[in-house]
Amino acid sequence: MTRFRPKYITFDCHGTLIHFQMAESARDIYGAQLSEPRMLEFIPNFAAYRPDEVMKHWQPFATVVHNALERTCKRNGVAFRPEDPRNIYERNPSWGPRPDVPEGLAKVAKEIPLVAGAASCAAMLMKAASG
């Protein structure tokens, strides 16, 4: 029997390589405005709107964050400021990978080439990769 060996392995940078800290960022920005019960509604709304935005036509990740946060603010009766999603997006390169991911990807990469997919611009990914 022939053993299957993939030509490439693909993965999404956001959520796989990058340890997302969207909830923490939302807390930093909106924590003073929202009580804890309201924050506990806000964060899951923000988390749900991001994949909803991704499932639409392709758009840069900065736009995904902007639209998801704007929708979240509207749903939760919070004033939306355009600088807030920009602030969150610009934090992204500082988040780094989840602790267990680099070693695992390095092992796989010795055998099979890796292809990373992302809706971020190349400059943002290079900044994240370089630490």
Express each pLDDT in 45-85 by its tens digit. Answer: 999 999 999 899 989 889 999 999 999 999 999 999 999 99
Look at residue 3 and tell me if it is in a domain: no
pTM: 0.76
Residue 130 or residue 103, greater confidence: 103
Q: With a cut of 90, say whether residue 38 has pLDDT above it.
A: yes
Q: How far apart are CA 46 and CA 34, in angstroms?
A: 14
- Residue 120 · residue 13 · CB < 8 Å: yes
Greater pLDDT, 116 or 120: 116
pLDDT of residue 40: 98
Q: Give the pLDDT confidence score for residue 107 in this predicted structure.
A: 93
Mean pLDDT (whole number) for 27-54: 96
CA distance linking residue 80 with residue 74, whole number of Å: 7
Q: Is the predicted pLDDT of residue 21 greater than 70, yes or no?
A: yes
Q: Can you list the alpha helix ranges (DSSP code H) found in 35-100?
A: 36-54, 61-76, 83-95
Residue 1 lies in a domain: no
Domain that holds residue 104: 9-130
Per-chain mean pLDDT for the chain: 88
User: Is the CB of residue 50 less than 8 Å from the CB of residue 64?
Assistant: yes
pLDDT at site 61: 86
Please report whether residue 91 resides in a domain. yes
Residue 4 counted as domain residue:
no
Split into its structural domains, the chain has a count of 1
Reply yes or no on whether the pLDDT at 122 is more than 90: no
